[in-house]
């Protein structure tokens, strides 16, 4: 159904709607009136930030960002009734009724997925945030998948947005500059015949410890120690266990539940490189840390 014009109603808590070419079409409009327009920061941690807004009788909209090497953002349209087919919604920026000189502006499209919440990627998510910051009201419009003569219009109110937006951006600025994927498989290297980490590996371990001190969804941490082939077999076996144990002790000191950590020592077995020169041997002197958490506890994929 083709959208032709946008009509603005009078008043702060107005309903916005589109007139359509087909006179039989009807618009179902959802949005929070002034007294029910509430924004909240529901997640505020070094790992994840979430800014939420309830849409009465429809669901909610969420802005989410997570710890990562790259700044990321997404908008999730949480519907009480998930789409029953694949389609596409149109996204507009609409001025409040008292700004009568500003015309509606199309921002882009929102894919609708069958039986899944719909979401926008990083670029469009930042656009919606900045439109709200300017006092504009994003509007999402699509044809109902059960009743094709109905046009569904979802308004995201800018009322009471600013203070929670500032809180949300404070949270985003404090996110860790690395995420779960960056630490879930970490290789630590050691000086010869000792449990002393190299300087770069000390930094890696500190990063792992910092992340794990915040993530409450860790399921299991496997710590496996190895050595090069110099020295006796028994000495190397003992050294590999000692290296793994020291990593475990470090993680326990950072607050990780000891029962979630499993250590193993493999001695001079399972080399990752040759053993003919110092460069190769330095790669074999290692501890490998593998971290897992329940599949459904992942945060955001990079966007």
- For 240-271, the pLDDT digits (tens) are 999 999 999 999 999 999 999 999 999 988 88
Q: What is the domain-level CATH number for residue 205?
A: 3.30.1330.60
Res. 71: pLDDT tops 70: yes
Same domain assignment for residues 139 and 247: no
One domain, residues 167 and 188: no
CATH number of domain containing 59: 2.60.40.2540
Same domain? For 29 and 141 the reply is: yes
Under the banding of pLDDT at 50, 70 and 90, the label for residue 25 is: low
Beta strands in the chain (DSSP E): 3-8, 16-20, 26-30, 39-44, 48-55, 59-66, 74-79, 87-94, 105-112, 118-120, 137-143, 150-155, 185-189, 220-225, 261-265, 286-292
**Coil, strand or helix: which one is 61?**
strand
In terms of Cβ atoms closer than 10 Å to its own Cβ (0-12, 13-18, 19+), residue 182 is middle
Pair (135, 214) in one structural domain: no
* Same domain assignment for residues 111 and 132: yes
- pLDDT exceeds cutoff 60 at 135: yes
- Report the first-to-last Cα separation within the chain, whole angstroms: 31
**48: helix, strand or coil:** strand
The reply to whether 94 and 242 lie within a common domain is no
The answer to whether 205 and 195 have CB atoms below 8 angstroms apart is no
Please check whether residue 63 is in contact with residue 44, taking contact to mean a CB–CB distance below 8 angstroms: no
Measured CA to CA in angstroms, residue 140 lies from 18, 52, 107 at distances of 11, 16, 10
The pLDDT confidence band at residue 7, using thresholds 50, 70 and 90, is very low
- Given a cut of 90, whether residue 10 has pLDDT beyond it is no
Domain range for residue 209? 180-297
Nearest Cα neighbor of 205 from 174, 252, 251 is 251
Total tally of structural domains belonging to the chain: 2
Note the pLDDT of residue 297. Answer: 55
Tens of pLDDT, residue by residue over 88-126, are 999 999 998 888 788 899 999 999 999 899 999 999 999
> Do 108 and 154 have their domain in common?
yes
Burial status of residue 282 (CB atoms within 10 A of its CB: 0-12, 13-18, 19 or more): middle
Mean pLDDT, residues 134-160 taken together: 92
Q: Is residue 302 part of a domain?
A: no
Q: How many helices (H) and strands (E) does the chain have?
A: 6, 16
Cα(241)–Cα(266) distance, rounded to whole angstroms? 8
Q: Which residue has the higher pLDDT, 22 or 203?
A: 203
Q: How high does pLDDT run on average in the chain?
A: 87
To the nearest 10°, report the CA torsion of 126, 207, 225, 222.
-50
Query: Phi/psi of residue 141, each to 5°?
Result: -130, 135
Do 95 and 162 lie in a common domain?
A: yes
Using DSSP's 3-state secondary structure scheme, residue 261 falls into strand
Contact 124, 111 (CB under 8 A): no
List pLDDT tens digits, range 154-171: 999 999 999 899 999 999
Structural domain includes residue 144 = yes
pTM as predicted: 0.81
Give the pLDDT confidence score for residue 46 in this predicted structure: 97
- pLDDT at residue 17, as a whole number: 41
The answer to whether 228 and 235 are in contact (CB under 8 A) is no
């Amino acid at each position: 159904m083709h959208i032709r014009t946008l009509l603005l109603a009078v008043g702060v808590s107005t309903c916005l709607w589109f007139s359509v070419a087909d006179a039989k079409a009807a618009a179902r409009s959802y949005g929070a009136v002034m007294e029910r327009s509430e924004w909240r920061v529901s997640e505020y941690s070094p790992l994840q930030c979430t800014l939420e807004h309830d849409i009465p009788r429809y669901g909610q909209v969420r802005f989410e960002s997570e710890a990562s090497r790259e700044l990321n953002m997404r908008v999730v349209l949480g519907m009480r009734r998930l789409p029953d087919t694949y389609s596409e919604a149109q996204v507009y920026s609409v001025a409040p009724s008292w700004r009568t000189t500003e015309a509606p502006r199309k921002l882009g499209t929102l894919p609708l997925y069958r039986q899944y919440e719909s979401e926008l990627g990083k670029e469009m998510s930042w656009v919606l945030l900045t439109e709200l910051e300017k006092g504009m009201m994003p509007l999402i419009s699509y044809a109902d998948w059960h009743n094709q003569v109905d046009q569904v219009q979802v308004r995201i109110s800018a009322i009471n947005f600013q203070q929670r937006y500032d809180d949300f951006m404070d949270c985003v600025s404090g996110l860790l500059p690395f995420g779960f994927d960056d630490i879930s498989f970490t290789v630590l290297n050691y000086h010869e015949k000792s449990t002393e980490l190299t300087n770069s590996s000390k930094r890696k371990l500190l990063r792992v410890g910092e992340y794990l001190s915040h993530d409450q969804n860790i399921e299991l941490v496997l710590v496996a120690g190895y050595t090069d082939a110099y020295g006796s077999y028994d000495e190397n076996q003992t050294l590999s266990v000692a290296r793994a144990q020291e990593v475990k002790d470090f993680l326990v000191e950072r607050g990780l539940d000891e029962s979630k950590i499993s250590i193993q020592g493999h001695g001079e077995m399972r080399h990752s490189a040759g053993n003919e020169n110092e460069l190769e041997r330095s790669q074999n002197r290692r501890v490998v840390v593998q971290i897992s958490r329940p599949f459904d506890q992942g945060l955001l994929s990079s966007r």
